[in-house]
Amino acid sequence: MSNVSIKSPREIELMRRASEVTVATLMEVDAMIRPGITTEDINRFVHADTLQRGARPAPLNYHGFPKSVCTSVNEVVCHGIPSEKQVLQPGDIINVDVTSVVEGYYGDTSVTFYVGEPSPEAKHVTEVARRSLDLGIATVREGSRLGDIGAAIQEFAEKEGCSVVRAFVGHGIGRIFHEAPQVSHVGQSGSGMRLRAGMCFTIEPMINLGTYEVDVLDDKWTAVTRDGALSAQFEHTLVVTKKGCEILTQRPRALANSERFSDYWPKAV
């Protein structure tokens, strides 16, 4: 017996609604990304937009996190704290991680945006992260195993000359922001817990250009690459189904400041 909850159809509907809010907000963040804005501008927008949609921004006061969204620029791996002092520069990459709560249920999704034109290095790590998430998701169905997800991600990312962060993992999600299971982004296929229809969790690989090792800054939140090299991340919330999964945080169209620069993403903006 595992301690991973199976969500009812009613619960999944509420998670769909929470996830829809995160997607709508993230689509609007896409429209505001440009050199010269601050990460606090993004925080203010996400906070107000989430409330306007009848939801609550989950990061605010979560274990003391001081803002309503995580904004992780360049060598920041995750949990970057928005700041009025942090002005986006041309060539930066920034992950914006939005988590919203609707009627007690959570939706959690993030993307990495390009600020202006990306450098070849920025584009490489970001596109490897984008594809890593897709490859992890592609393994998910009733009866597949947790280790299949990490194996698919690790095999691809390392083949592309990148590393996969170990210190942070995807997570079960529902009425609780972070619940069982832990979803490692490295692993061995055929290992780990078997997935069952109705399980809900995130996959959110953090992919580095250099070492996978991270340090957490004195603010107790900001996680940075130990070698200062670039890091990128994408995250979806999903529910396991018999034949595969439903991506609860699927976007309705491509992002102007992310997928428009992707060589493999097929959709027009």
Which residue in 75, 148, 204, 259 binds ligand MF3 (CB under 6 A)? 204
Q: Report the candidate in 79, 19, 76, 68 with the shortest Cα–Cα distance to residue 42.
A: 68
Residue identified by tokens 């920025």 is 122
108 interacts with ligand MF3 by CB under 6 A: yes
Q: Measured from the CB atom, is 99 or 208 closer to ligand MF3? A: 99
62 interacts with ligand MF3 by CB under 6 A: yes
202 interacts with Co ion by CB under 5 A: yes
The alpha-carbon radius of gyration of the chain (Å, integer) is: 17
97 interacts with Co ion by CB under 5 A: yes
Residue identified by tokens 């993992």 is 169
- What does the DSSP 8-state code read for residue 90? T
23 interacts with ligand MF3 by CB under 6 A: no
11 interacts with ligand MF3 by CB under 6 A: no
Region of 12-20, 38-46, 146-154, 234-242 interacting with Co ion (CB under 5 A): 234-242
Q: Measured from the CB atom, is 124 or 185 closer to Co ion? A: 185
59 touches, from ligand MF3, Co ion, none (C-beta below 5 to 8 Å by class): ligand MF3
62 touches, from Co ion, ligand MF3, none (C-beta below 5 to 8 Å by class): ligand MF3
235 interacts with ligand MF3 by CB under 6 A: yes
Helix (H, G, I), strand (E, B) or coil at 262: coil
Q: How far apart are CA 11 and CA 6, in angstroms?
A: 9
**Sheet arrangement for strand 231-233:** 163-164, 206-208, 231-233
- What does the DSSP 8-state code read for residue 64? G
169 interacts with ligand MF3 by CB under 6 A: no
Which residues is 202 bridged to in the sheet? 237
